[in-house]
Structure 1
């Protein structure tokens, strides 16, 4: 994607880090396509029984190697290789494949997430779906931008639909059961016009581009959410934990068009 087509404010956002985040998300994401829908893919189980593949590991290694060269003072937190301390105020939070189960199943709705954090505040983020070649990115004060198949990015915005006319998306329904939030899920499903499990980073991308009104994660890690928060907020939406705090470190997440946010929090509180 030719960054020269974007405004100077966007390309220099966060001292050049946003441009690098876009580049690395695309580079790492495209590397996963080498094993996507391949009979040669092997699946391992991590300590928490979640799956991981060589594509996950290689994509994160690629991002880390580039960041260590370009911003050696910055800290890094990634799903596959943990935390690397830094000396600056910045931290990169990375999920090389958000939606590994979709990736393993040959479903193209997985993403590469790169978040830029300063003093625990999420200031920039990139969501890239390599199999769809679809990209959303944002930085604080620069708006959210959307591009498909390498086209010139355009500003994107959340919808203005109420929940009873809107789409509610979630990664996996049984994650509500795992935290004893079945009633909350049922309440959201009843309140929404339509519910689909087009989740993970793709669900948040749908909200940011006005195609869904609500995305909820009952169980989440910072690498699932750090890229998401600035994208949603710059698109005019809202992101919080289930207790209503604008943080990616709360263990869960709720992203919306803003209009339905308080209603969703109230319905989840019935759990």
Structure 2
């Protein structure tokens, strides 16, 4: 088993990740709700904007100077370099929101060491919010005020749980529509907050579960250290401890096994 990096070592990586988020915000926010935003479609029919491309380039430019020996895996320009230490980037998570002028989008930056995300930063500049975490260093958020530490909820009953499920269509395509309906019938409250924002609500204790399908590593890697350092748990839908499962189940930890049992009953 690979040893967990020392918190002191990760603090330097976290500091860099926060500066990467600054560079990303400088590219993405001026293009948000812009009348001349350039939008095209990728091979999988998903949208990509000029802001997605410019934001990822800005992050890669900083990394090429400050971490030239590290690998990079980004949504727009793929993977290159070492996989032992790999920066995983989603330049704009929530591109559909971004291009429609909906402020629920953000940049996700993670450092994975031997495949395990150890550092994560999520920046949502249209909301003037940022979250970050690293193994052994806690989970934090900030707006215009001093950073504050965050933690997941202590809700211990499904009857009292508030959950986010991404979308009905997504669960249906994955063959789990019946499980979604069972989930909605069982919990106190169900909403589709969507994309990375739902995971940050979980880390802050606002909701108690997030689950989605058809996700890539860059869709969730940055959330992993934040949720785990906030006291939560993230696995694949089958309970596997991996970010390569193409699905994710994130909870406050207390309810994780109960959600797994409910969703697989």
The correspondence for 1:63, drawn from 41, 59, 62, is 59
Task: Check 1:49–1:61 CA distance in 2 against 1; reply closer, same or farther (3 A cut).
Answer: same
In the TM superposition, what whole-angstrom CA distance separates every residue of 1:73-126 from its partner, at most 9, and x where no partner exists? 00000000000113x731000000111111112111111100111111111111
**8 Å CA contact retained: 1:127, 1:137:** yes
Aligned to 2:198: 203
Aligned to 1:92: 87
Aligned to 1:144: 139
Give yes or no for the alignment of 1:256 onto 2:251: yes
TM superposition shift of 1:38: 1.8
Q: Distance in 1 between matches of 2:227 and 2:9?
A: 17
Unaligned residue ranges in structure 2 (runs of 5+): 1-5
CA RMSD of aligned residues (A): 1.6
Give yes or no for the alignment of 1:79 onto 2:75: yes
Q: Distance in 1 between matches of 2:25 and 2:169?
A: 27
The correspondence for 2:116, drawn from 113, 121, 124, is 121
Three-state SS of the structure 1 residue aligned to 2:171 is helix
Aligned to 1:4: none
203-212 or 256-265: which moved more?
A: 256-265
23-32 or 74-83: which moved more?
A: 23-32
Over 4 Å off, 4+ runs = none
**8 Å CA contact retained: 1:13, 1:139:** no
TM superposition shift of 1:184: 1.5
Aligned to 1:3: none
**8 Å CA contact retained: 1:170, 1:200:** no
Q: Distance in 2 between matches of 1:15 and 1:108?
A: 30
Task: Check 1:13–1:108 CA distance in 2 against 1; reply closer, same or farther (3 A cut).
Answer: farther
Q: Distance in 1 between matches of 2:241 and 2:22?
A: 27
Unaligned residue ranges in structure 1 (runs of 5+): 1-8
33-42 or 57-66: which moved more?
A: 33-42
TM superposition shift of 1:181: 0.9
Q: Distance in 1 between matches of 2:11 and 2:229?
A: 18
TM superposition shift of 1:249: 1.0
Q: Distance in 2 between matches of 1:13 and 1:105?
A: 40
Aligned to 2:230: 235
TM superposition shift of 1:15: 5.8
Q: Distance in 2 between matches of 1:157 and 1:45?
A: 38
- Give the TM-score normalised by structure 2: 0.93
Q: Distance in 2 between matches of 1:268 and 1:111?
A: 29
Task: Check 1:54–1:223 CA distance in 2 against 1; reply closer, same or farther (3 A cut).
Answer: same
Aligned to 1:158: 152
Aligned residue pairs, count: 259
